[in-house]
Structure 1
Amino acid sequence: MKNKAIEALINTLSDGAKSIPKITETMIHQYQQSQLFYGIASFAIAIFLIILIRWVWMKLFEQYKRYKQVEEKKPNLFSTRINFSSFVYTNDLKIQIVILSIGTLIVGVIAISLLVGGCDNIGNYISPINGLINNLTN
């Protein structure tokens, strides 16, 4: 029943769109512009987050390469001198990878939700009457 009422309202608004008052036309135009802005902003932020994730992982890989080079030059395990900084560095790198993996998961979910929200906003820009009605009924 609710869907039929919404469809009837859409049809009425679509047919009467030629004779709508100027203030309603301005309101719809402003709604379209805000939806376009939010859609583009959502896409831009999502792309920035994806680039940020890639940059951080590349920095970590560079650090891992340096660690591997240091590990190859590591002295014998049976030597009398203990290399404590290498031990800390090894464990620190593992902790960084775990934290970065969890952070990547969280930021990835945020980026995907921004992309979905941006698609919804662009859809509301293309069809503003449907978007207005959906926003009012939800």
Structure 2
Amino acid sequence: MGFNGPGFTWSRGLASIRLNHFICTSYFDEAFPVSMVHHLLRMRSDHRPIMLQIGNVPRRSPTSPFRYFSGLLSHDDFPRMVANNWILGTSVSETIRSFTAAAAVWNKTVFRYLGTKKRMIMARLRGIQRALCSRPSRFLSNL
């Protein structure tokens, strides 16, 4: 199968190679014609994870859902925010909806758009790893 992303799935220092592959039969190819292999970003390992996508990627909704992350619990003000904003409504879904809206505002106020910062860091990491594939260097590897 072909792939999308950098050509190497393993690197250490200036050495890089494609170790990981997906192999499919003609039956799989006929059953899932819109499938694609993605070489993802390396994070803490010398191996780049690979992902098999079967079918088209659904479009993202214009509004992103509230996402919990463990840093919320470590903030001193979180229990007070929950106590002040968990107000029982006419239904459980209404209570959750109003709390989620309040938590999203608190999250952006306290943690300053963590999702945006993560996207910027991931984009920079993608650029560094893309540059490493075309011109290996110690500086980029350390970066």
Q: Which structure has more helix as a fraction of its residues?
A: 1
Of structures 1 and 2, the larger Rg is shown by 1
TM over 0.5: no
Q: Which structure has more strand as a fraction of its residues?
A: 2
TM-score range, shorter chain: 0.3 to 0.5
TM-score, length-scaled by structure 2? 0.32
